[in-house]
Amino acid sequence: MPRGQVTLLKYLYDNGNFVTTNQLAEGIRSGNTHSCISILGPLSNRVNETNQITGNPGYKALIETKRRDGETYYRLRNEARQVIEDTPVLMEKLGVTMTKIRNMENPVIAQEEFDIV
């Protein structure tokens, strides 16, 4: 999982509430909303290519969205939060600061770290 996807999950995990596109972009991409939103496509592909997930829910399997007053809001789904909390290696990866993730040589979360039995 590339750094952008890791920072997205980290930000939403730490926040816990719905955040606007602008807040999310500020938190993970220095305010660049286009760069922030462009993470969602590859994350959707990753989710849809996961054998244990049926259909093609894309990133919405992990992230809940809602529209209000013409703006999109994002929040990590409770189920995704629970998977993270129940998986020590994911908690370890997401338990560091955003600055540390950005400075890590290789912050990638490997596929096998998502393989939950």
Domain at 26, CATH number: 1.10.10.10
CA distance 25 to 35: 8
CA distance 106 to 63: 24
Alpha-helical regions (H) of the chain: 3-15, 21-29, 33-37, 40-48, 78-86, 88-94, 98-103
Average pLDDT score over the chain? 85
Question: What pLDDT digit, counting tens, does each position of 54-108 carry?
Answer: 889 999 999 999 999 999 999 999 999 998 898 888 888 788 888 887 777 665 5
pLDDT at 49: 87
Question: What pLDDT digit, counting tens, does each position of 24-49 carry?
Answer: 999 988 888 988 889 999 999 988 88
Confidence of residue 22 (pLDDT cuts 50, 70, 90): very high
Domain count, the chain: 1
Domain holding 61, by residue range, is 3-114
The pTM of this model reads 0.82
In order of 6, 58, 75, 107, the CA distances from 52 in angstroms are 20, 13, 22, 24
CA distance 43 to 6: 10
